[in-house]
Structure 1
Amino acid sequence: MANSFPQGTVHEAREDLQAALQSDPKVFGLWASLTPLGRNEFICWVDDAKQPATRQRRIQRTGDELLEGKKRPCCWAGCIHRTDKAPSRWQQAVLIDQKKMKGA
């Protein structure tokens, strides 16, 4: 049976995020009511965590922020992986170019 979990436009939520969201019916209802772009922003934000502890904090905050009525993660510049629009100049300079320089 195919997974019917509501995903983002570019990203798919991993099992830990899915389990956390599905553990509370109210949170899961809010998640399902988001647009695919809204879900995508949360998934990208959670996946961007470098350390497991940070990932777990972001998963918890996702549920908290949904309960607060937020449609996107607080203080997140936005997903740089979308192909339907170009990154903003700020995203390009800070998120993309800076990561390339660190990886070089």
Structure 2
Amino acid sequence: MTSDAHILAKWDGLTPIQRNEWICWTTIVKKPETRAEHIERMVAELKEGKRQPCCWPGCPHRRPKARKWFK
């Protein structure tokens, strides 16, 4: 991702919360193959102008009931 200046500029244009959503969406999966797929999809969607993952309920560590798992 850092080798593509266009994507890096898009990433830098995101708010900290939007960047956190992408990071959380990418790292919450367990399989390395799935993470790679999420990274590919993230790059493609950033190119399309999307600012956060589609169909994602949000980072679980921000929900009060799930916080106990992220201490």
- Normalising by structure 1, we get a TM-score of 0.59
- Where do 1:1-104 residues align within 5 Å? 21-82=1-62, 87=63, 92=65, 96=66
Alignment gaps of 5+ in structure 2: none
Higher relative contact order, structure no. (Cα contacts within 8 Å, ≥ 6 residues apart): 2
Structure (1 or 2) with the larger CA radius of gyration = 1
1:78 maps to amino acid: G
Alignment gaps of 5+ in structure 1: 1-20
Greater helix percent: which structure?
Answer: 2
- Normalising by structure 2, we get a TM-score of 0.84
Q: CA deviation at 1:42?
A: 0.2
Deviation beyond 4 Å, 4+ runs, structure 1 = none
Q: How many residues align structurally?
A: 67
